[in-house]
Structure 1
């Protein structure tokens, strides 16, 4: 299904897939996180995608964020089976989309730090070169892209080096993609200026939107403005609830900082794909869809 032009349309994306799976009683405390259920409970993933579509989302993000060959190997899943599970993530999102009759499938391409399962995606600067990061991302991205999503969701990137690595691969894969950084205030998680991060993807035709995700809601509006200023591209935003992830303990701490009126401000500033990340549930997506109008 061809994506609509993002110059005028505003698409609502989904919320926290893992959050909703946990709410349905699944323990996601192992290193594969929600990707474990690609093997163990695929029907539950379809059910959550469907719930977000019915709540008002137009985009489903696949359960491949934390899927990695290393993570599957640690569970005794060999490479051919791991490839099949990665493709299944896209297929399950498409199954839910087809059941509701409309929408798009964004294949999640999570950062290298997610595969470490210790919160490193909120730190960045892993000690790897751009070439090493490119070599790590390439086989997984090629498998997931080959499954036929409508676009790639390259998400939760913590620093400029990883963005540079992924951009090279996007040119090879040839699918449309959004690229989003996780930020703290006005910098990447690695402490780099957002202007520097956004500039990496500004001239890449395959990148149809750039923005931020899994950050505090209060950090979004300045980031939208900076993304538009640097790239001129449509902006994608899907913050978490405002709670904070404690990587070593694998728990969320704090409380929600969502406030009424935030979404219209983001849209007015240039956001064209709007949703939620961790701790954002279908009822929250319904409110976002109502705000988008």
Structure 2
């Protein structure tokens, strides 16, 4: 991050620090289901994320990329924790299991509403990432329909499916290229 900010002509360089889901530390693929939130409190999640966010804020990132969040409880913990850093901007990006639901199963449209109500000023964009490209259009369209002034963001994966039993990505071979979907995402 410091290298990017020190480069010549850095007037337009902005940096983002990644804050991923708690599930990644479990090393069992639970970041793709969010099941861990069922046995954690919002305070537990805030306490776990706080040191990383503190470090990134102190390093001077322009944005926090609160990304690949699979469940409403973790998303709310993050947007509430963000209030402890009132000058910090962020985007919030979810992993989703289909065109309507977070990976944990909550309707994405209601989760986004809850998060924006909990922190309407610091969240600069809302979107999806680490999902199948074919699901992006409907998810983004629903976000825009319910929150027309919110910027949206999307950065899907290749289209493979996570096999939670064998803990590996499965080649589906049926997904269209991301380029096929981009024009629809930009509407």
Smaller-chain TM-score range? 0.7 to 0.9
Q: 2: CA distance between counterparts of 1:189 and 1:100?
A: 41
- Residue matched to 2:97: 184
Is 1:253 the counterpart of 2:170? The answer is yes
- Tell me the TM-score normalised to structure 2 length: 0.85
1:265 Cα deviation from its structure 2 partner: 1.0
1:153 Cα deviation from its structure 2 partner: 0.3
Look up the SS of the partner of 2:110 in the other structure.
helix
1:252 Cα deviation from its structure 2 partner: 2.3
Q: 2: CA distance between counterparts of 1:99 and 1:238?
A: 28
Contact 2:69/2:95 (<8 A) preserved: yes
C-alpha distance 145-261 of structure 1, shift in aligned 2 (>3 A): same
Q: 1: CA distance between counterparts of 2:179 and 2:70?
A: 28
The one-character-per-residue Cα deviations of 1:13-42 (angstroms, maximum 9, x if unpaired) are: xxxxxxxxxxxxxxxxxxxxxxxxxxxxxx
- From 249, 261, 267, the counterpart of 2:186: 267
Q: 2: CA distance between counterparts of 1:99 and 1:243?
A: 39
- Residue matched to 2:33: 123
- From 181, 193, 198, the counterpart of 2:112: 198
1:125 Cα deviation from its structure 2 partner: 3.2
- Residue matched to 2:128: 212
Look up the SS of the partner of 1:245 in the other structure.
strand
Q: 1: CA distance between counterparts of 2:79 and 2:159?
A: 28
C-alpha distance 91-200 of structure 1, shift in aligned 2 (>3 A): farther
- From 237, 240, 244, the counterpart of 2:157: 240
1:250 Cα deviation from its structure 2 partner: 4.8
Is 1:107 the counterpart of 2:17? The answer is yes
Aligned residues: 177
1:99 Cα deviation from its structure 2 partner: 7.1
- From 80, 98, 111, the counterpart of 2:7: 98
Look up the SS of the partner of 1:189 in the other structure.
coil
1:248 Cα deviation from its structure 2 partner: 5.9
Q: 2: CA distance between counterparts of 1:120 and 1:149?
A: 27
> Unpaired runs of 5+ in structure 1?
1-89, 269-293
1:230 Cα deviation from its structure 2 partner: 2.6
Alignment of 1:10-21 (within 5 A): none
Higher relative contact order (CA 8 A, sep 6+): 1
1:173 Cα deviation from its structure 2 partner: 1.4
- Residue matched to 1:141: 53
- Tell me the TM-score normalised to structure 1 length: 0.56
